[in-house]
Amino acid sequence: MLKKINRLSSKFEYNITKKYGANASGRFAHVYLLKPTNYTGPAKAGIVIPNSFNKSAVKRNRIKRLFREALRLNFDKIPENHWLVVYPRYSSQKKTYEEICTDLINTIQKVSVTR
């Protein structure tokens, strides 16, 4: 679980990050990264999985847990004062933690280079 200070908390933060943030796609996730103009503080991250991803809440929560753990262990790769939103792809359902983690790290590095 991410620390409370490292979580995006409002719908506003998610929407602004998706609308104005730089984005990159990996094999298993689509990532948005934004440096807000009036925000100073630690990096914040969030994961969005809609009901259309899978009807089973158990399967959606498993993917959320895998991505959340990958973010938690590699949080130092997110630049300070930035917001990050991860949208897992449907292809990530049958993948292992190691595959998801390496792809997420590569995607975060790709999007942070483009900023």
Residues 6+ apart with CB under 8 A from 8: 14, 17, 44, 45, 46, 83, 85
User: Does residue 104 surpass a pLDDT of 90?
Assistant: yes
Residue 23 lies in a domain: yes
Query: Residue 84: which domain range?
Result: 4-110
Whichever domain contains 95, its CATH number is 3.30.230.10
* Tally of domains in the chain: 1
User: Does residue 40 surpass a pLDDT of 90?
Assistant: no
User: Does residue 54 surpass a pLDDT of 80?
Assistant: yes
Confidence of residue 48 (pLDDT cuts 50, 70, 90): very high
pLDDT in tens, 70-87: 999 999 888 889 999 999
Residue 115 lies in a domain: no
